[in-house]
């Protein structure tokens, strides 16, 4: 199976990425990204609001890996939606990451003036400073509105996705526009006892793999990009080592039955969550 895929604008994107959400300690983030790059990861996913873009940039510089061999992803936060503010945030992101372009730039949340942000991102794409643009956490109605209101269809929608939240209806809608699903929290942040889950553990035993590796391989075989996070070298290497086995169709069906049909971590339609996320402010 291929370890990369082609987005709806022709850009090639790795299926396996490394996420840095909640790694707020600069030296620890830098070390973790270096370990991920040494393990073989070539896609790093960060965001303006994570507060660690500079650490990611430092790690990339220290790695000695050619920029063209990397796939860098970042995101604009709610406080910076709007045309002008998105442009300013983008410049800060480039400076923090010590690069002159992004491979993928995303709108982090479906709130605020994201329509004007999308116009800014269309212009960044046209200028060549971004290779692909997309969104995060957009449900079908918001996606449809964005598509109908602008010229460019998002290349990616980064969503909560793991064996317990499989987003089947949303993914079907996205497929009609060739929008690539990208899974955040691919290991469900350990919820539902994922690392010890009996079904995932039993499947893994047949292949000599862990429950986490089974969950990540399930995403891979569904052609869903994933960005697991860890600060431990053994776990980083384990999460990357999923291309030497193939889940059977029976195993894939067993995992499909674990779907609970709703998010476990973030309900983007909850007014309480909207208010909480709007209150998150930071200096980039």
Of the candidates 3, 8, 17, the one whose C-alpha atom is nearest the C-alpha of residue 186 is: 17
Question: Average pLDDT of the chain?
Answer: 97
pLDDT at 244: 95
Q: Is the pLDDT of residue 27 over 90?
A: yes
Rounded distance, CA 133 to CA 122, Å? Answer: 8
Catalytic residues: 50
Residue 263 lies in a domain: yes
pLDDT for the residue numbered 284: 87
Domain presence at residue 177: yes
Instruction: Specify if 282 maps to a domain.
Output: no
Among candidate residues 119, 101, 114, 36, the one with its CA nearest the CA of residue 93: 101
Give the pLDDT confidence of 56-79 residue by residue, as tens digits. Answer: 999 999 999 999 999 999 999 999
Q: Which domain holds residue 206?
A: 10-277
- Say if residue 1's pLDDT is above 60: no
Instruction: Give residue 44's pLDDT.
Output: 98
CA distance 284 to 282: 6
2 domain-assigned:
no
User: Does a structural domain hold residue 112?
Assistant: yes
Q: Is the pLDDT of residue 129 over 70?
A: yes
In a domain? residue 174: yes
Domain count, the chain: 1
The share of the chain scoring above pLDDT 90, in percent, equals: 98
Reported as a single tens digit per residue, the pLDDT across 85-120 is 999 999 999 999 999 999 999 999 999 999 999 999
In a domain, 98, yes or no: yes
The answer as to whether 30 is a domain residue is yes
Condensed to tens digits (0 to 9), the pLDDT of residues 188-212 reads 999 999 999 999 999 999 999 999 9
Q: Please tell me the pTM assigned to this model.
A: 0.96
- Dihedral of CA atoms 266, 271, 276, 282 in degrees, nearest 10, equals 90
Which pLDDT tens digit goes with each residue over 203-243? Answer: 999 999 999 999 999 999 999 999 999 999 999 999 999 99
Predicted pLDDT at 29? 98
CATH number of residue 236's parent domain: 3.20.20.100
- Tens digits of residue pLDDT in 140-197: 999 999 999 999 999 999 999 999 999 999 999 999 999 999 999 999 999 999 999 9
């Amino acid at each position: 199976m291929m370890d990369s895929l082609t987005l709806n604008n022709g850009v090639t994107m790795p299926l396996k990425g490394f996420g840095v959400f909640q790694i707020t300690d600069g030296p620890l983030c830098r070390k973790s990204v270096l370990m991920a790059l040494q393990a073989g990861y070539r896609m790093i996913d960060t965001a303006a609001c994570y507060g660690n873009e500079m650490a990611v940039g430092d790690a990339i510089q220290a790695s000695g890996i050619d920029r063209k061999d990397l796939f860098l992803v970042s995101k604009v936060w709610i406080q910076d939606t709007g045309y002008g503010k998105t442009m300013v945030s983008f410049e800060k992101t480039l400076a923090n990451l010590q690069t002159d372009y992004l491979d993928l730039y995303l709108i982090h949340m479906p709130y605020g003036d994201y329509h004007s942000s999308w116009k800014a991102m269309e212009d960044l794409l046209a200028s060549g400073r971004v290779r692909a643009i997309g969104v995060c956490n957009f449900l079908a109605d918001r996606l449809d509105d964005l598509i109908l209101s602008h010229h460019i269809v998002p290349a990616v929608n980064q969503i909560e996705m793991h064996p317990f939240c499989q987003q089947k209806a949303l993914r079907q809608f996205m497929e009609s526009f060739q929008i690539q699903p990208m899974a955040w929290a691919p290991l469900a942040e350990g919820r539902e006892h994922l690392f010890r889950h009996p079904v995932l553990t039993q499947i893994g035993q047949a292949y000599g793999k862990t429950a986490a590796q089974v969950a990540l391989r399930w995403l891979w075989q569904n052609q869903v990009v994933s960005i697991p996070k860890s600060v431990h070298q053994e776990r980083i290497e384990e999460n990357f080592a999923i291309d030497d086995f193939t889940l059977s169709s029976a195993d894939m069906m067993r995992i499909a039955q674990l779907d609970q049909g709703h998010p476990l971590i973030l309900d983007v339609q909850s007014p309480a969550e909207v208010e909480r996320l709007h209150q998150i402010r930071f200096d980039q």
